[in-house]
Structure 1
Amino acid sequence: MARVLVVITPAEGHVNPSLGLITELVKLGEDVVYVCVEEYRSRIEQTGAKVMTYPFAEDAFSHEPTLKPLAYRHPYQFLHMVTCGIIPRMIPEVLRLIEHETFDYLIYDSLMGWGGQILAEKLGIPSVCTIASFASVEPASIENGEVINTRELYEAIMNKAKEIATTYKVSLPAVEEMMAHNAQLNIVYTSRYFQPRAEELHDRFLFTGSSIIPREDAPEFPFYLLRERHTKTVYISMGTILNKNLEFYKLCFDALKDQPVNVVLSSGKYTDITSIEGMIPDNFIVRPYVAQIEILQHADVFVTHAGMNSVSEALYFDVPLVMIPMTSDQPFVAGRVKELGAGIVLDQHHLNAIQLQEAIMETLHNPIYKEQAHLIGKSLKEAGGCTFAATAIMQQFAKV
């Protein structure tokens, strides 16, 4: 039995995919210590792992300037968020918690970037990187994206990186390597079919498909209403970070209020919808939080921001998508879904109720979208899942 340290960025789309893998490792006898924030304690404890928590402001990715996602126009903007936002907040807290602990290997989240390798170097142990989006085929390049003030970003990144390297007495990577997948094993929660340019990735990348695990703490939902009202159901969720746009919710009301469909809208735990409650149409069910895996098994179309975790869960259940990407990797993910024919992409900046209605109705009634979603879903199911991932980790790292 090996002792395993797990450190995942405290965000729904990164914690949730890790839970199935950790459950399987615990079943196989590994002693797992999962370091995260108190908000996720209950669902992590359901895996059988021990939980250690550190302070991290709730909803920090929505309101803290350095962490708040942008419509990234250049890789340095994303790297700045990781190096100047995530690493300084997470790494000191993790090292403080495990100061007197020893581990045999580390599992860390790719969103931590260089932070994962800092922990591995400090502890002197091998590492596994879990990738909740597509794997990067090549290092970030200064030529990618629009021309912005890259010099200022570069200087801010490197100044902070030098400070971190000095503080923790670790090696300083080149800027191009700070987000590289340099772990001994990289678990990618998608399939080779869905991953762009998968043939260019080396054999340290393991494609395991969507990580699907039932949530024991999922809130109750009146599924019987979906059977009593209409035959088709539209599910709308803009994730847990970009879900406070009440004007968008009003747009959804206008687009679907007269349509013969059930609409389930997840408005967000931190979103105050008091001002629009009187506008909610009769065919809508609005909840602050919906157990997504459960509702997707009843949905016919998913309107989403195209976060990778949401997209993967939808496609696993063969649900086609209407995507309104906003930030981070969302445009890239949405583009891949569109390329494979499983959904429609809309522009958030030029969107009205008629366009949204037409996209949803097209996706609902044109069978090609469902067929293509099924093809991707089939590849995700056949990839091997968390059991495959856990077995691979055990073969490489477990103690005899």
Structure 2
Amino acid sequence: MSKVVLFGVDLHGHVNPTLGLVSKLIERGEEVVYYCSDSFREKIEQVGASFRSYRGLLGFSTHKGSGIDTFLVFADFLMDRSRTLTSALYDEVAQLNPDYVIHDAFGLWGKEIAARLDIPGIAFFANFPFIDEMADRDPEFFMEYVLRAQGDPLYERNRGRHDIYRKLLDRLSGMIALRYRLPPMNVINDVFCSKQPLNLVFTSREFQIHEDAFDDTHLFVGYALYPRREPVDFPYELLDGRPLVYIAFGTILNELNDAYETCFSALGDSRYQVVMSIGQTDLAPMRVSIPANFIVRSYVPQLDILSRADVFITHGGANSIYESLCSGVPMVVLPQVFDEYMGALMVERAGTGIYMREEKVGAEELREAVDRVASLPEYKESCAKVSDSFERTGGLDRAVDEILKFAKQKVYDDAY
């Protein structure tokens, strides 16, 4: 039996994909120590891992900016947290004497600690992966769907030039390297991806956009639903058999009243029953009342509701999209931040839903999109095809096989 330390990120969409992986590792005899924030303790301990706390030192949040501004602020946040967490946790992790480390691609501190301990490190992508090599295939895609560079003066002056991405990336990388007194770096691969010799990608090559940019160090392992025990008081008795629309915009953004009002106007008093999860959003300032055919809750048992839903209106986070695909539920996607725009494009490209491109979607447009997705069987059929592609990767069993082989081989290579 080996011991692995896993460094997570305190977002539901980043923790949920790891639960099945942790369970499989423990089934194979591995001891798993899982670092995350305290609010995830119960969820992590339920799968059998030993929980360790970040002690309030992480705290992911969303910067209220746009384009390059947001990208630079987030890169700075990751670098700052990495330095703080590496310093705070290194001695503690060293005393655990792990055999290898697994870390979120956003968890640069996991990569740093593994390197300092001179043990194997493995990264995983819980988000939609965006790596530097993708830009070589399609610089404009990367600028507009990852960097969200529209409006940036440098980009607008050079729009259409093939080298604009590289110029902008060099500028951003130089700013981060200068701020943290580091040698030249690639801010995409070195900060946002924390790439390792083995990188787990929780999707299939068929669903991934620009999949040919990912070399053999990226192991595509699909996505598998892991049943979560969620102590949520949900009124299942109110579900009455009408076509069910589920609405959720993730657990980060909590100021989405305009989006919720649009949903009320679009689907209120319609033929649908609607379940809406609003997180910590305060609906009091809203200009419209909650329609009678809506069930609105702060938190909803997502997997249970998806198993009953006909359409999912989502922000396009990776966890939400993958759980919807595995549940066979087509989507209407209203992306809000960074990789959600890429997720929306992937949904559209695979024929598993509709990407609402307008910055402010109207009620009529939203209702028409829901009607289309609910009525045309090809959307649901496409979900099944993508879900099948996840299964064909070999899934978590293959992931664990490769993790154990890599960790063992790395130790052997270092010894000889």
Per the normalisation by structure 2, the TM-score is 0.83
Instruction: Between 248-257 and 80-89, report the one with greater CA deviation.
Output: 80-89
1:286 aligns with 2:296: yes
1:128 aligns with 2:141: no
Structure 2, unpaired ranges of 5+:
144-148, 155-167
Q: Which residue of structure 2 lines up, in the alignment, with residue 238 of structure 1?
A: 249
Contact (CA 8 Å) 2:131, 2:193: kept in 1 or not? Answer: no
AA aligned opposite 2:264 = F
CA gap of 1:259–1:89, structure 2 versus 1, over 3 A, is farther
Contact (CA 8 Å) 1:188, 1:209: kept in 2 or not? Answer: yes
Instruction: Between 9-18 and 373-382, report the one with greater CA deviation.
Output: 373-382
Q: Which residue of structure 2 lines up, in the alignment, with residue 207 of structure 1?
A: 220
CA gap of 1:54–1:175, structure 2 versus 1, over 3 A, is closer
Q: Which residue of structure 1 lines up, in the alignment, with residue 35 of structure 2?
A: 35
Cα offsets for 1:329-382 (capped at 9, x unmatched)? 111111111012111111352311111111111111122211212211221233
Which of 371, 377, 380 matches 2:390? 380
Q: Which residue of structure 2 lines up, in the alignment, with residue 197 of structure 1?
A: 210
Instruction: Between 292-301 and 130-139, report the one with greater CA deviation.
Output: 130-139
Cα offsets for 1:215-262 (capped at 9, x unmatched)? 113414233322x2x431000000001243112211111111121111
1:111 aligns with 2:122: no
AA aligned opposite 1:265 = M
Equivalent residues in 2 for 1:5-84 (5 A)? 5-56=5-56, 60-62=60-62, 68=63, 70-73=65-68, 77=72, 80-84=75-79
Instruction: Give the distance between the partners of 2:286 and 2:70, measured in 1 at CA.
Output: 37
What's the Cα RMSD here?
Answer: 2.8
Contact (CA 8 Å) 1:21, 1:211: kept in 2 or not? Answer: no
CA gap of 1:300–1:69, structure 2 versus 1, over 3 A, is farther
Q: 1:200 offset after TM fit, Å?
A: 3.7
Instruction: Give the distance between the partners of 1:40 and 1:210, measured in 2 at CA.
Output: 21
Contact (CA 8 Å) 2:250, 2:315: kept in 1 or not? Answer: yes
Which of 92, 100, 103 matches 2:95? 100
AA aligned opposite 1:346 = M
Q: Which residue of structure 1 lines up, in the alignment, with residue 271 of structure 2?
A: 260
Give the SS at the match of 1:215. coil
AA aligned opposite 1:373 = C
Which of 291, 300, 313 matches 2:310? 300
Q: 1:82 offset after TM fit, Å?
A: 4.9
Contact (CA 8 Å) 2:203, 2:222: kept in 1 or not? Answer: yes
Q: 1:301 offset after TM fit, Å?
A: 0.6
Give the SS at the match of 1:98. helix
Contact (CA 8 Å) 1:194, 1:336: kept in 2 or not? Answer: yes
Instruction: Give the distance between the partners of 2:51 and 2:133, measured in 1 at CA.
Output: 33
Instruction: Give the distance between the partners of 2:246 and 2:338, measured in 1 at CA.
Output: 22
Instruction: Give the distance between the partners of 1:292 and 1:3, measured in 2 at CA.
Output: 32
CA gap of 1:11–1:88, structure 2 versus 1, over 3 A, is farther
CA gap of 1:362–1:81, structure 2 versus 1, over 3 A, is farther
Instruction: Give the distance between the partners of 1:188 and 1:327, measured in 2 at CA.
Output: 20
Instruction: Between 40-49 and 344-353, report the one with greater CA deviation.
Output: 344-353
Equivalent residues in 2 for 1:207-356 (5 A)? 207-226=220-239, 228=240, 230-268=241-279, 270-276=280-286, 279-347=289-357, 349-356=359-366
Contact (CA 8 Å) 2:75, 2:187: kept in 1 or not? Answer: no
Q: 1:73 offset after TM fit, Å?
A: 4.6
Instruction: Give the distance between the partners of 2:193 and 2:94, measured in 1 at CA.
Output: 27
Q: Which residue of structure 2 lines up, in the alignment, with residue 157 of structure 1?
A: 176
Instruction: Between 285-294 and 197-206, report the one with greater CA deviation.
Output: 197-206
Contact (CA 8 Å) 1:208, 1:388: kept in 2 or not? Answer: yes
AA aligned opposite 1:299 = A
Cα offsets for 1:251-283 (capped at 9, x unmatched)? 111111121111000000x22234459811111
Instruction: Give the distance between the partners of 2:77 and 2:288, measured in 1 at CA.
Output: 40
Q: Which residue of structure 2 lines up, in the alignment, with residue 168 of structure 1?
A: none
Structure 1, unpaired ranges of 5+:
63-67, 166-170
Instruction: Give the distance between the partners of 2:91 and 2:67, measured in 1 at CA.
Output: 32
Q: 1:198 offset after TM fit, Å?
A: 2.4
AA aligned opposite 1:120 = A
Q: Which residue of structure 2 lines up, in the alignment, with residue 65 of structure 1?
A: none
Q: 1:72 offset after TM fit, Å?
A: 3.6
Q: 1:389 offset after TM fit, Å?
A: 1.4
Contact (CA 8 Å) 1:107, 1:130: kept in 2 or not? Answer: yes
Per the normalisation by structure 1, the TM-score is 0.87
Which of 144, 167, 183 matches 2:196? 183
Contact (CA 8 Å) 1:69, 1:327: kept in 2 or not? Answer: no
Instruction: Between 145-154 and 245-254, report the one with greater CA deviation.
Output: 145-154
Instruction: Give the distance between the partners of 1:155 and 1:200, measured in 2 at CA.
Output: 24
